[in-house]
């Protein structure tokens, strides 16, 4: 690449895909050579306030797999991806200088750490370097809402009905290759899991999520779930399941790091409905995507309030941080076998069903009255599909400081009898511990 020619840099964050990526499309539309960069921020692999790493081994492995896939897929577009084990704040200035970057393109984020990172990067860059940010993680784009995001309804049903009536999902974006002359002769090697300080992982054969990261495998899963197994057609009936690969779509880990977009899922559902049939189940997966949007808009509206102990409702409760009870919950050693089975599954695989998450969170916050932010931080560390908005939105909801007007408490015993009546799930994860 001739250095005198200015380049467009795509700073990848949670948008790790080549297709239906408006950030990448915008960079390519400049007609400048495009290169990509990703930063493995050191703080993700360090212990934080509540004693957990931001990112434990399961999500780290999934991320590295995703980056390898992204690097390969970008190469097909003649775009090189640089990956650094360093912070954007430390590294961006030298990248901009080395590659004569005139424009930086990135997905717009608004939570505290991401916002601070960008502000610190901006301070180190020459004033002539332009920063371009785009909202690209929603099903319904903020510009297409029937209200300003600051007026997002408190209750999900009101939010959903307004969007379904007055908004439309945008069409998919297909990105095309740039000139092959723009590929860098020397690029980055993506580190191993060991290099990040983790031991190798052997996927547990009981795992309900044995899949790898990256947009190619995301589409394989989508194609299988929709068009091969047609499991989408019974989604509403099976979504509260606990065992097996197809009780739910399992799209959430790919959605979380952006190797699959909500729009791609939506338009694939529409293709399924056109080819086969539409029913409550095909609608219900869209319904769940709208829930995902809702928590993103709640976060956009309330900012850092979602991380505070009193939440967005400013409800004051007496929370405990009793270490013994926290460790019992983490290790699956509480007085409730259904909670224990779910927590052991999480610790062993990095995955837990939606039904399980609601129950263990309610037990933690409502039964044990433990500081819900500790539970949220543990989920952040462990869950393959950790998404800051859904994680903290759901934890606030369950803890009674978020968007649930009923402030409910799950009866975990009755939930277990309903969703694991034959105890197969508990037997699978507790084994000899059960009796």
Q: Do 26 and 75 form a contact (C-beta atoms < 8 A)? A: no
Q: Do 398 and 388 form a contact (C-beta atoms < 8 A)? A: no
Q: Which residues contact 345 (CB under 8 A, 6 or more apart)?
A: 206, 208, 351, 352, 356, 429
pLDDT given at position 406 = 77
Per-residue confidence band for 404, with pLDDT thresholds at 50, 70 and 90: confident
* Angle, CA of 382, 249 and 140, to the nearest 5°: 90
User: Which tens digit of pLDDT belongs to each residue from 266-277?
Assistant: 999 999 999 999
The SS3 assignment for 80 reads strand
178-192, 354-368, 380-394, range with the lowest pLDDT: 178-192
pLDDT given at position 4 = 64
Per-residue confidence band for 49, with pLDDT thresholds at 50, 70 and 90: confident
pLDDT given at position 397 = 95
Q: Which two tokens stand for residue 430?
A: 């507790």
Q: Do 81 and 272 form a contact (C-beta atoms < 8 A)? A: no
Output phi, psi for 199, to 5 deg.
Answer: -80, 155
Average pLDDT over residues 308-334: 96
pLDDT given at position 251 = 98
> Read out DSSP for 293-325?
HHHHHHHHHHGGGGGSTTTTTT-----B--HHH
User: Which tens digit of pLDDT belongs to each residue from 234-245?
Assistant: 999 999 999 999
Distance of alpha carbon 68 from alpha carbon 119, whole angstroms? 28
Q: Given its phi and psi angles, is residue 286 left (phi above 0), alpha (psi -120 to 50 degrees) or beta?
A: alpha
Helix axes 354-362, 412-419, angle to 10 degrees: 160
Q: Which residues contact 224 (CB under 8 A, 6 or more apart)?
A: none
- The mean of the pLDDT values for the chain is 95
Distance of alpha carbon 192 from alpha carbon 142, whole angstroms? 37
Per-residue confidence band for 76, with pLDDT thresholds at 50, 70 and 90: very high
Q: Report the percent of the chain where pLDDT is more than 90.
A: 94
Distance of alpha carbon 140 from alpha carbon 294, whole angstroms? 10
User: Which tens digit of pLDDT belongs to each residue from 177-223?
Assistant: 999 889 998 888 999 999 999 999 999 999 999 999 999 999 999 99
Reported pTM: 0.96
Q: How far is CA 237 from CA 104, 217, 249, 274, in A?
A: 45, 25, 12, 21
Output phi, psi for 239, to 5 deg.
Answer: -65, -20
User: Which tens digit of pLDDT belongs to each residue from 52-72?
Assistant: 999 999 999 999 999 999 999
Distance of alpha carbon 256 from alpha carbon 390, whole angstroms? 9
pLDDT given at position 434 = 42
Q: Report the percent of the chain where pLDDT is more than 70.
A: 98
């Amino acid at each position: 690449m001739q250095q005198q020619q200015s380049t467009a840099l795509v700073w990848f964050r949670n948008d790790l895909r080549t297709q239906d990526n408006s950030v990448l499309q915008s960079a390519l539309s400049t007609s400048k050579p495009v290169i990509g960069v990703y930063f493995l921020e050191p703080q993700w692999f360090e212990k934080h306030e509540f004693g957990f790493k931001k990112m434990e081994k399961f999500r780290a492995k999934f991320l590295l797999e995703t980056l390898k896939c992204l690097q390969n897929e970008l190469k097909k577009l003649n775009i090189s991806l640089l990956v650094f084990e360093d912070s954007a704040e430390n590294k961006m200035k030298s990248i901009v200088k080395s590659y004569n970057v005139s424009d930086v393109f990135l997905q717009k984020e608004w939570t505290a750490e991401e916002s601070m990172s960008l502000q610190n990067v901006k301070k180190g860059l020459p004033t002539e370097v332009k920063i371009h940010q785009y909202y690209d993680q929603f099903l319904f784009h903020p510009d297409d809402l029937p209200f300003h995001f600051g007026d997002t309804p408190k209750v999900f049903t009101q939010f959903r009905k307004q969007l379904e009536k007055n908004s439309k999902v945008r069409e998919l974006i297909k990105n095309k290759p740039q000139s092959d002359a723009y590929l860098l002769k020397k690029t980055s090697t993506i580190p191993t899991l060991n290099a990040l300080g983790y031991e190798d992982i052997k996927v547990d054969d009981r795992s309900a999520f044995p899949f790898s990261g990256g947009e190619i495998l995301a589409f394989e899963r989508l194609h299988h779930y929709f068009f091969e197994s047609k499991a989408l057609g019974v989604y509403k009936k099976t979504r509260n399941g606990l065992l097996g690969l197809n009780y739910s779509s399992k799209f959430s880990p790919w959605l979380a790091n952006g190797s699959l977009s909500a729009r791609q899922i939506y338009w694939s559902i529409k293709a399924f409905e056109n080819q086969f049939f539409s029913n409550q189940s095909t609608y219900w997966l869209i319904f769940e995507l709208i829930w995902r949007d809702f928590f993103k808009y709640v976060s956009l509206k309330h900012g850092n309030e979602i991380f505070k102990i009193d939440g967005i409702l400013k409800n004051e409760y007496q929370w405990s941080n009793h270490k013994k009870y926290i460790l019992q919950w983490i290790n699956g050693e509480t007085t409730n076998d259904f909670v224990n089975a779910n927590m052991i599954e999480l610790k062993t695989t990095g995955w837990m069903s939606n039904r399980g998450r609601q129950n263990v969170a309610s037990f933690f916050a409502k039964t044990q009255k433990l500081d819900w932010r500790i539970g949220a931080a543990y989920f952040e560390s462990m869950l393959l599909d950790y998404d800051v908005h859904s994680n903290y939105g759901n934890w606030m909801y369950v803890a009674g400081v978020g968007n649930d007007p009923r402030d409910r408490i799950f009866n975990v015993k009755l939930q277990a009898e309903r969703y694991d009546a034959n105890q197969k799930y508990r037997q699978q994860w507790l084994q000899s511990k059960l009796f």
